[in-house]
Amino acid sequence: MIEQGSRHGSVSRRTLVRGLTAVGALAGVGMPFVARAAEPIRIGFPTPVTGPFGAEAKDQIRSAELAVKQFNEAGGLNGRMAELLVRDDKLNPGEAATRTLELIEKDKAHFIVGALSSAVQLSVNEITRSRKVLYVSISQSDTINEAKDFSRYTFHEALNPHMTTAAVAKHAFKKGTRVAYLVADYAYGHEMLRGFKRAAAAIGAETAGEILHPFGAPDYSTFMPRLRSMRPDILCICNFGRDQANSIKQANDFGLKKAARIVVPVLLHNQRLAGGADAFEDVVGASNYYWRLEETVPSAKAFNDAFRAAYANAIPTDYGAYGYTAVRSLLMAVKAAGDTDTHKVIAALEGLTYDVAKGPERYRACDHQAIQSVLITESRKKSEMQGEADLFRILEVEAGSEAALRTCDELGHRA
Amino acid sequence: MTSAFAALDLELIAMQLFSGVALGAVFVMLALGLSIIFGMLGIVNFAHGNFFMVGAYAGVFVMERTGSFWAALLVGPLLVGAMGLLVERFLIRPLAGRSPDDPLLLTFGLGYVLVEGVRILFGSDGLPFATPEELSGVADLGIGYFPIYRLFVVGVVALVLVVLWYGLERTRLGLIVRAGARDPEILRVLGIDIQRLWLWVFGLGIALAALGGVLAAPMRSVNPEMGNVVLGEAFAVTVIGGMGSLMGSVVAGLLVGIVVSMTALVAPEMASIAMFAFMALVLLIRPQGLFGKPGLGV
Amino acid sequence: MQTLDQSVVDAPPGAVNPRPAPRVTAGFSRWRAPLSILALLTLPFLLPSQALAVNVLIYGLYAVGYNLLYGYTGLLSFGHAAFFGTGAYVTGIAIGAYGLHPLLAMGLGTVAASALALTVGAVSIRSRGIYFAMVTLALAQLVYYAALQASSWTGGENGLRGFTVSRIALGPASLDILDPQVKYLFVLAFVGVALALISRILASPFGAAIEAIRENETRARACGFDVERSKLLAFVLSGLFCGLGGALSAIHLSIVPLDSLAYHTSGMAVVMTLVGGAGTFFGPFVGALVVLVLEDVFSLWTPHWQLALGTVFILFVLFLPRGLWGAALERFAFRRGRS
């Protein structure tokens, strides 16, 4: 082959070898400087592109990419640009674990942000904490705050059921209110129930009854008679996603909405679209973000405007906003730390107060939970919607405070 | 477990039974199609749940274009039934003479194609499907309130059953279909095109699944995964009733609906376990199901 | 006027002999295990990531275990996720809740899976044909819902966590399992041993017995084979290797997701085995490789990768029922002129 080379080209083998060695030497000397200056800040972003939450995932990706773009346009970290490595976790914890391993081992990601379902977040967390990689979770869950799953490398930017249920209960329950609960029989459902009952006990509201339904059940007709027989003032539906859309729709079909007020722990954009305006009318719930917050919060307006500019007048949804707040705050910490070194960034995140989309937020030290405001929203009647995206009305904004969270002791964290 | 026993009274139990029967109606719809296809062609259609889902989407499609629920109810199943004809002709028929597992495997793969195809055409989000005006609202049954639409579903299923029964038991075509399920060879010898028969029966089974989907659409959100959820239930009901028996599908559908409904009173989280345990039990003790016989029968 | 065999007449259309076996050249069967291991050693260099390579090993083992029952004995099970998942869960619980040594935990996981296979097998063997597939499906769903309910043990749908293995002690030395290279070789060691064992099993009289049962059960019985016992043993062995795959998966991912027991996972065993080549030794690995890489590659291009997967599978059922490896072997055997 070497003979062929000298036969073919005009460049002799010797020259070729000499030239390559020279280039190699130069590169070897110069490379480190070049590489360090150019080495991007890699943020792994597992998200369920495939599956029932594809729309939420897409919104999260767009928001996250917006945050990265803003960071880069502002000069990055001394010229180092951020890069978002999006991976499809297929809403499957095993798949998410594999993708996270790839992101860490092959793609050399510096940080991981993401996950929508609780199970996925916990599996990503298991991988990141054993390999000492910083992980910011944006999945709504109580479990990740607890000592068992926690690590110094774990941050939780999203709301958790405890916060949302407490806020909704404070708004909707009064002393003596009779509340019936329809709960999805899985960890998240139980977390929501626990949060509501705790808040209800403090307010003095009564439990009229509770029914557990199988997670993913499409049909709730068999629960309706019993719920009605409880004669509640409030029907509190503790589930998520398709379950929420289905159960609210069917509660409406069975006329339960005329008998009781329907209250949910999280009121989300896509579920409201799936269920329709009529079924969701007057349902009250909590949310981390609603675009019309821009009317009162300047950072929301800034976020929305940037989003509109980047994405053809679209507005960010609740889950989408998580992508933005998590990535943006992470990059702020990186900038503050001046480095991508994990421990420096952890220290920076712990000390950071940020206001990027919804008002001030900061992380609590013991469990790295982001203390932030909770919005109480109500689904609008179709006739009251001022536009296709005007799905909800903000009833009140519960300001962020540590009192809204469970105590560090309760979560098992030693001081 | 909740404080279930505290709130039981006769009215509640009666209402629960009634809900079970109404729930069973949807199961019956699914089981009918599955049973007919197995009884006639010997195929376990692993994509049956997904055809149910495609039916719901066909309903959405027609509804969007015509604004009429009745059009959706009529045209939707016909469209999907036509799809079923194509599937039988080009995907299933080439498998004749090969291992009996092959059509099962093929329909399994087909399931993925259907789900993803729907995602591509309609998106991954759940779509709302409004209950038609004339059927919305609740009726006071004395023992409790029940949505009028669900009563309508029970009515439609009953009607379909009557039509099927009449078609199978009283018409010449039905006679041919039943004969073909029992003994395809003799039928061939008698000069009847058995392949055309299989084609239309398969299409019928699929159309029934699709009809179930259109009927279910106003009750639940229409989404690409809704077929996967019902497949297990469809299998359980068909197996318990007897693959190939229409009477079995009806009885088992109602039975399973009632069982699910009653366990919802005491231990709803056990409903799925109960159903699959029942299914396994029947398969082991009496694999042909409660009413199953070889061939197709009422 | 009975011109045809009664069983054919009464049977539904398509119920003729199951897929006939591909003919592997006798010379190679002695070397199939070592050759396979050699081939698998090159995997980390061919694939873009170590994590994917380990997954190929694990799912390849799962598919090979499944193939023992489906490809070689001719029993189509749709519930093998139960064994994979049980192996994984028991391993994870043994390490996390009882602090056992990972190797011991893996052993327990494998034993548990085999025990479950014995139970499920004993109960489902009596069913024939399509009913067998349905029974295994139903029983696997039972296991799934039971695991979902027993959330204090299994973590429910959050999955089992808290048993991350970072070092495995082997006497005086210890392996750094977090290192992707070390992990790959660790998993390959087990897979290699499993392959060697399976090769021996298939070459034994038992191997001949189960293939005879696949070809024609009545004739096998007439020849004096104890059909029930052979089927059951095949079932248990199949469960054993699938359980080992699950145990390795627990060590690899540091979690056991509830999906390990789901219908989709059972389906994957079928898809991989069929695509690779049912009834061939190395075929399931080829199938696992193809399916996992397809999933990975397709999901980078489009979120609709399941369409490609489903279509590929349908095409295989229609046109390439022998699978990739099976078809390749056939070609090869033909070329060498039937040895």
Largest separation between any pair of C-alpha atoms in chain B = 66
Q: Is the pLDDT of residue C13 over 80?
A: no
User: Is pLDDT above 60 for C14?
Assistant: no
User: Would you state the pLDDT for residue C5?
Assistant: 36
User: For position C1, what pLDDT does the model report?
Assistant: 35
Q: Report whether pLDDT(C123) > 80.
A: yes
Q: How confident is the model at residue C20 (pLDDT cuts 50, 70, 90)?
A: low
Say if CB A76 and CB A82 are below 8 A apart.
yes
Closest to A317 in 3D by CA, of A299, A297, A303: A303
> What pLDDT shows up at residue B156?
95
pLDDT band per the 50, 70, 90 thresholds, residue C283: very high
Mean predicted confidence (pLDDT) in C296-325: 86
CA nearest neighbour of C86 among C134, C138, C142, C126: C142
Q: Which of A217, A228, A274 sits opposite B127 (nearest CB)?
A: A274
Compute the average pLDDT of residues B265-269.
78
Between residues 88 and 127 of chain C, which touch chain B (CB distance below 8 Å)? 123-124, 126-127
Question: Region B42-57: what's the mean pLDDT?
Answer: 94
A187 contacts C180? CB cut-off 8 A: no
Angle between helices C81-96 and C129-149 (to 10 degrees): 20
Q: Closest Cα of chain A to C167: distance in Å? A: 11
Check residue A373 and give its pLDDT: 93
pLDDT at A22: 52
Q: Tell me what pLDDT residue C309 has.
A: 87
Please tell me the predicted confidence (pLDDT) of residue A20.
53
Is B1 a residue whose pLDDT tops 50?
no
Q: Dump strand ranges (E) for B141-276.
A: 145-147
> Would you say the pTM of this structure is higher than 0.90?
no
Test C178 with A130 for CB contact under 8 angstroms: yes
For C172-205, letters b (16+ CB in 10 Å) and e give eeebebbebeebbebbbebbbebbeebbebbeee
Banded model confidence at residue C302, pLDDT cuts 50, 70, 90: confident
For chain C, give the mean pLDDT: 86
Question: Which phi and psi angles does A137 have, rounded to 5°?
Answer: -90, 140
Residue C295, pLDDT score? 85
Contact C254 A126 (CB under 8 A): yes
Query: According to the model, what pLDDT value does residue C136 have?
Result: 92
Contact C270 B185 (CB under 8 A): no
Q: Which of chain A's residues have a Cβ under 8 Å away from the Cβ of B219?
A: 219, 221, 249-250, 253
pLDDT at residue A60, as a whole number: 95
Query: What pLDDT is stored for residue B136 in this prediction?
Result: 84
Torsion angle of C-alpha atoms C11, C13, C18, C20, degrees rounded to 10: 130
Task: Give the Cα separation of B198 and B181 in Å (integer).
Answer: 9
pLDDT at A51: 81
Pairing of strands A178-184, A234-238: parallel
DSSP string, B119-143: HHHH-SS-B--PPPGGG-SEEE-SS
- CA end-to-end span of chain B: 40
CB contact at 8 A, B24 and B255: yes
For the segment C157-169, what is each residue's pLDDT rounded down to a tens digit? 889 998 988 888 8
More confident residue, C305 or B107: B107
Give B152 to chain C, closest Cα distance, Å.
32
> Per the CB < 8 Å rule, is B105 touching C270?
yes
Cα C62 to Cα C291: distance, rounded to the nearest angstrom: 13
Chain C segment 261-300 residues within 8 A of B by beta carbon are 263, 267, 270-271, 274
Task: Flag the least confident range among A286-295, B207-216, B267-276.
Answer: B267-276
Task: Quote the pLDDT of residue B272.
Answer: 79
pLDDT reported for residue B140: 84
The whole-number pLDDT of residue A108 equals 94
Kindly give the pairing relationship between strand A134-137 and strand A111-114: parallel
Is A230 in Cβ contact with B264 (below 8 Å)? no
**What's the half-sphere exposure (Cβ side, CA atoms, 13 Å) at A393?**
16
* pLDDT-derived band at B80, boundaries 50, 70, 90: very high
Residues 6+ positions from C112 with CB-CB distance below 8 Å: C86, C87, C90, C243
Average of per-residue pLDDT across C275-280:
90
State how far residue B280 is from chain C, nearest Cα, in angstroms. 6
Q: Of all residues in chain C, what percent carry a pLDDT higher than 70?
A: 90
Task: Tell me the C-alpha distance between A16 and A378, whole Å.
Answer: 73
Binary contact (C133, B269; C-beta < 8 A): no
Looking at the complex, does the CB of residue A146 fall below 8 Å from at least one CB of chain C?
A: no
- Residue pair B154/B171 in contact (Cβ under 8 Å)? The answer is no
Q: What percent of chain B has pLDDT over 90?
A: 39
Low-confidence ranges of chain A (pLDDT < 50): 1-9, 30, 34-35
Mean local confidence (pLDDT), C210-214: 90
| Best C158, C163, C294 residue to mutate vs chain A (most A CBs within 10 Å) | C158
Q: Which residue has the higher pLDDT, B296 or B176?
A: B176
At residue C335, the pLDDT reads: 59
Contact flag A98-C51 (C-beta cutoff 8 Å): yes
